[in-house]
Amino acid sequence: MSDVRTRTSKLRVEAVSVSIDGFVAGPGQDREHPLGVGGPALFGWFFPTRTWQAMHGQPDQGETGVDDDAAARGFENIGAWILGRNMFGPIRGPWPDDDWKGWWGDEPPYHVPVFVLTHHARAPLEMKGGTVFHFVTGGMRAALARAREAAGGRDVRVGGGASTIRQFVRAGLVDELRLTISPVLLGRGEPLFQGLDLPALGYECIAHVPGKRAVAHVTLRRRD
């Protein structure tokens, strides 16, 4: 209890992989390319980690160390998530039916309520393992209010994609961003920094840790 009262619930962006040229996903996202064409190369550091392996049914496999620390930290003390519509799936416009249930199979790796930003209403979707997808049509602040309430004092994580992250950052709502700069060029795709004047929004780089596979884990924090 004291933990909940002394600590403010934060809005966090975690483990976002960025190419050297500033993209967080490749172009041409569709059902076969959830990260866009070329996008998976951004996650070369993430797939071997114990955290990712455990998320995919291999709990005792995978590497520990600095990269796994960055992956695992993203799930610590998270009570709810917010996702953009395109991160939930490749369908655009009205939902044709209720068939699409996310990229992640029957048991998504969230295990808490997940609020999906969309212009098109849809009934909540309860999945195995504690994940419930709620579809929010009232915009960014409505989603955040519901996520904070659901999180019960724990933090809320903005999962992506790029435009959703930019929207929350531009509104000054994100407290911390943890990025992993990957040794990859994408050339096209979803840019993270475009149109964001991060210092003017109060952000500074407070930590920088080299990872194992030629990546750099950086932490940006907004000054209070």
Residues numbered 127-156 forming contacts with a copy of itself, rule: CB under 8 A: none
**Sole window of 4-12, 64-72, 158-166, 205-213 interacting with a copy of itself (rule: CB under 8 A):** 205-213
The residue within the footprint of a copy of itself, chosen from 60, 197, 223, 224 (CB under 8 A), is: 197
Q: In the bound complex, what is the minimum distance in angstroms from residue 62's beta carbon to a copy of itself?
A: 22
**Angle value at C-alpha 117, between 125 and 79, nearest 5 degrees:** 65
CA–CA distance, 66 with 68 (Å, rounded to integer): 5
Q: What is the pattern of x (binds a copy of itself, CB under 8 A) and - over residues 55-74?
A: --------------------
C-alpha distances out from residue 30 to 26, 38, 179, Å: 11, 12, 24
Angstrom distance (rounded) from CA 110 to CA 59: 16
Q: Which of 104, 116, 88, 12 is nearest to 52 (CA)?
A: 104
Q: Which of 179, 180, 190, 222 binds a copy of itself (CB under 8 A)?
A: 179
Q: Smallest distance, Å, CB 115 to a copy of itself? A: 27
Of the pair 127, 181, the CB lying nearest a copy of itself is at: 181
CA distance 128 to 114: 13
| Listed residue (221, 176, 217) closest to 67, CA to CA | 217
Residue 24, interface with a copy of itself (CB under 8 A)? no
**Residue closer to a copy of itself (CB basis): 88 or 203:** 203
220 binds a copy of itself (CB under 8 A): yes
Using the rule CB under 8 A, is 22 a contact of a copy of itself?
yes
**Omega of the bond leading into 161 within 30 degrees of 0 (cis):** yes
Cross-strand pairs, 208? 218
- Which residues form the interface with a copy of itself (CB under 8 A)? 20-22, 38, 179, 181, 183-188, 193, 196-201, 203-205, 208, 210, 214-216, 218, 220
